[in-house]
Amino acid sequence: MKDKLVLANEVVHLRPVVPADAELIHEAVLESIEEISPWMFWCHPGYSLAESKTWADGRPEAWEKGDGYDFVIEDTTGGPPVGICGLNHLNTIERVANLGYWIRTSRARQGIASAAVPLVARFGFEDLKLNRIEIVVATDNHKSQKVAEKIGAVREGVLRRRLMVRETVYDAVMFSFVPEDFD
């Protein structure tokens, strides 16, 4: 079923990440290092194709184990991937997950994240039967906060010293969705 899964609306198509995506994801990351590296622990100036391959190669197994559900974001008009959106840090007892996203620099500020994130949230509630989805964003990451606000995630407060990206510790804004937000 996962192999045929596509989440879509009029702006984006999302499909599970597969190993063959590694080179295109690597290209998107390289284009976007300056913008996303302050907020993503895995993104750094020396980000290599080998790192991208290791990550993409692990996505099918993570999906099968229920450890993560990562989607390639594609524009409905075609072209290379425009970003990644996914659910991770799953707490299977309380049925809670973190939702993360990034968009390649050349496609930022075009409503792509705002179109993709609700699709993944709905997948989390309908397919995975989650009770809660959290979006945890560094207080200085205003672009990601704007996405969460635009799509109606509830801002719950600031968590002190919540995120660590390499050697930098950030306070973070906690946003959330619950299933009733999509009724």
- Residue pLDDT tens, the chain, 183 long: 466 799 999 999 999 999 999 999 999 999 999 999 999 999 999 999 999 999 999 999 999 999 999 999 999 988 889 999 999 999 999 999 999 999 999 999 999 999 999 999 999 999 999 999 999 999 999 999 999 999 999 999 999 999 999 999 999 999 999 999 998
Kindly state whether residue 171 falls inside one of the protein's structural domains: no
The span from the CA of 88 to the CA of 99, in Å, is 6
Kindly state whether residue 11 falls inside one of the protein's structural domains: yes
The span from the CA of 130 to the CA of 172, in Å, is 22
Close Cβ partners of 58 (under 8 Å, ≥ 6 residues apart) = none
Close Cβ partners of 36 (under 8 Å, ≥ 6 residues apart) = 29, 43, 102
pLDDT of amino acid 183: 83
| Contact in structure between 75 and 9 (CB atoms under 8 Å) | no
The token duo for 157 is 């407060």
The span from the CA of 183 to the CA of 168, in Å, is 38
Kindly state whether residue 152 falls inside one of the protein's structural domains: no
The CATH number assigned to the domain holding 13 equals 3.40.630.30
Kindly state whether residue 156 falls inside one of the protein's structural domains: no
Q: Which amino acid is present at 146? A: K
User: What CA–CA distances, in Å, run from 46 to 20, 49, 93?
Assistant: 21, 10, 37
User: What CA–CA distances, in Å, run from 78 to 11, 14, 82?
Assistant: 11, 12, 10
Number of CB atoms found within 10 A of residue 30's CB: 16
DSSP for residue 95: T
Kindly state whether residue 129 falls inside one of the protein's structural domains: yes
Query: What's the domain range around 122?
Result: 2-133
Kindly state whether residue 159 falls inside one of the protein's structural domains: no
Q: What pTM does this model have?
A: 0.95
Kindly state whether residue 147 falls inside one of the protein's structural domains: no
- Structural domains in the chain (count): 1
pLDDT of amino acid 131: 98
pLDDT of amino acid 78: 82
Kindly state whether residue 114 falls inside one of the protein's structural domains: yes
